[in-house]
With several copies, the nearest count.
Chain A
Amino acid sequence: MITVKYFAQLRQMAGREEDQFDLGAQATLDQLSDAIGLNLPKIGELVRDKKIMVSVNYDVVSADHIIKDGDEVALLPPFSGGA
Chain B
Amino acid sequence: MSTTTETKARIQREDFSVTDEIEAIKKSSKNIGGIVIFLGTGRELNKGENISELNFEHYPKMAEKKLDEICTKAIEDYKIIDMSIIHRIGPIDIGENIVLIVAAGEHRKEAFEACEWAIAELKRTTPIWKRETTTKGEVWVQATP
Contacts and interface: CB of A to CB of B under 8 A. Distances in A.
20 contacts: A5-B59, A8-B129, A9-B129, A58-B65, A74-B127, A76-B59, A77-B129, A78-B142, A79-B125, A79-B129, A79-B143, A80-B128, A80-B130, A81-B56, A81-B87, A81-B99, A81-B122, A81-B127, A83-B41, A83-B98
Contacts, number: 76
Interface residues of B, number: 34
Contacts of B124: 79
The majority secondary structure among interface residues of chain A is loop
Interface of B: 33-34, 40-43, 56-59, 61-63, 65, 87, 98-99, 108, 119, 122-131, 140-144
Q: What secondary structure prevails in chain B residues at the interface with A?
A: mixed
B51 to A, nearest CB: 12
A79 B61 CA distance: 15
Contacts of B42: 83
Interface in A1-29: 5, 7-9, 12
B129 A83 contact: no
